[in-house]
Every structure is written in structure tokens, then in C-alpha cells.
Chains A and B, each alone.
Chain A
Amino acid sequence: MTTGYASHISPPKGGWSPLLEGAAREVFEVMLKSPLGAGDASAEQNSELIAMVGLTGDLSGFVSVHCSTEAACRMAAKMLNADPQAYNDTARDAVGEVCNMVAGSFKSKLGSAAADCKLSIPFIISGAECVMETNPGGTHVKVPLSFDGSPLVVALDLRN
């Protein structure tokens, strides 16, 4: 177990993005039966919901998923195989659980290098046009994607 607040794993060959994108695609394909498309890099500016899962130990930082409330409702509907209109109340729970699975899948893809990395429970921030300030000097990776026609961003922020 490492101590302090810095990340102790070097980025894999090819960088963090392919691992993060692979983790997100796996979650949406397996659990939502809805493959992700390519996205628009400006999507984060319009996010209404941000779900985050903290990383501690060998990696220090967090994985986040940014989307609209409407996209989160559709995630809940896909996860529950139901009508999106009926699932406003579970949208936050759904996007939190999606983020939780993306973080877990990302960690798994790092293999034994991340054996001492622990995940927090997910937490959600909501509001009009949520924008997250990133840690200066840290690593910030943003993967713009598209879910069911709506913009969706998966991001990784690490303390160096």
C-alpha cells in the first residue's frame, strides 16, 4: 500500500484514454445493451449531472461521468428495461452506478498494478451546466462519447 496523495502508477503505453474508453464501452454494452458512439469534446459544458468515484491507494483521484438529466433517465430505463419517462427519480442512482462500474472496470484493466487501488462509493453533483475545475498540475483525461444520441463524457483526474 502506498501512502500520501499522489498516484504511483505510470500511464500505460498509449495513455489512459484507451483504458478509460474501453471501460465505459464495456459497461454500456454489457449492462445497458447500448453501445456508445463517438462524442463531441464540448459536451462537458452542458452536463447537468456529474457522477464521481474516488480512487485511493496506488491511484489518487477520481473517475467521473458527465451527462444530461435526460440521458441519465434513459440510462435508468435501459438498466431497468422500462419507459424513460417513469425513471426520473432513479436517474441519479443509475448514473452513479454506471460511474461505479466504469471505475471498477478501469481498475480491473490495470491488473495487478492497481491491486492496492480502492474505490469510493459514487457521489453525484447536479445542477444547470455543471462544470468541474480540474487539479492544476494533475492528469486530466476526458473521453467524449455519445449515448443513445446524447453527449456523455467519461473523465479521469489523477494527482501526480
Chain B
Amino acid sequence: VATKAIRVLIVDDSSVMRRMVERSLREAGIEVGETLEAGDGWAALDVLKRQSPDLILCDINMPGMNGMEFLHILRDEHGSKNIPVVMVTTEGTQLRAAEAQAAGARGYIRKPFTSEQIRRQVLPLVEGK
């Protein structure tokens, strides 16, 4: 389990889903100290100008800037490029997962998801933070 409470940025156009993801993190035994939220990639980049989360959980299909566009900008141009990003999406095909991984995602969780799936993918990324 993480040694201290983490700060997480959850990017999803659904406020219900943002809260579900946060709850699943807690149910997975991950101590969440602060939750930052954004409704699309643009809003997420705006948050990152002011805050530095330990982890980003990001949807793909969003209005405005989608999750893949956000991931590319984060990895190619942004000062926050070392923050681990896990995609949380309904796009469950292996092709999409491979594309996300190639773009720098450190994990890929398909909706619907269990707390166990969250734990398995997220815990290794936040241990020791």
C-alpha cells in the first residue's frame, strides 16, 4: 500500500464516473489525500498548471480534448510528463489499449471495472510515493 496519501487527478466528462473512480481507489486500499477533477483534456492541462498530482486517471471518449490527445500533449510537450497516467475507458479493444500504451499510458482499465482491477493496475504506480 502507498506509504502516504496520494494526490490524484481524475479526468472524465461524467461527474458520476469521477466519483466512482475515486471511490474505487479508496475501496482498493489506496489512500487518497486529495482528488483533483477535470471534465476533459483542456481542463486537465489547466489543473496541471497549478497542481502536481501523483497519478492521473483519464477517460478517452470526452468532448473537447479527448484522453488520447491529452496523453500525447502531456508526454510530448508538458512539464508533467513523468506523472503516471492510467486510462479508464469503455474503449476495451486490445488495439486501443496498445495505442494508449504506445502513447505513454502506464495502465489501461476497461469500464465496467472492479476495485480489484483498479488495485492491480494502480498500486504498483503509487507505492512508495
Contact = CB atoms under 8 A, between A and B. Distances in A.
Contacts of A104: 89-92, 110-111
B58 to A, nearest CB: 15
Contact of A100 (B19, B61, B63, B114): B61
Interface residues of B, number: 23
Q: What is the interface of chain A mostly: helix, strand, loop, or mixed?
A: helix
Contact of A105 (B14, B23, B62, B92): B92
A80 interface: yes
A27 B113 CA distance: 9
Q: What is the interface of chain B mostly: helix, strand, loop, or mixed?
A: loop
B13 interface: yes
A96 B111 contact: no
A79 interface: yes
B35 to A, nearest CB: 14
Contact of B14 (A97, A112, A120): A97
A86 B47 CA distance: 28
A108 to B, nearest CB: 4
A30 B112 contact: yes
Nearest to B27: A81
Interface of A: 26-27, 30-31, 76, 79-81, 90, 93-94, 96-97, 100-101, 103-105, 107-108, 112, 114-115, 119-121
7 contacts: A30-B113, A76-B16, A79-B20, A90-B16, A97-B14, A104-B90, A119-B61
Interface of B: 13-17, 19-20, 23, 61-63, 89-95, 110-114
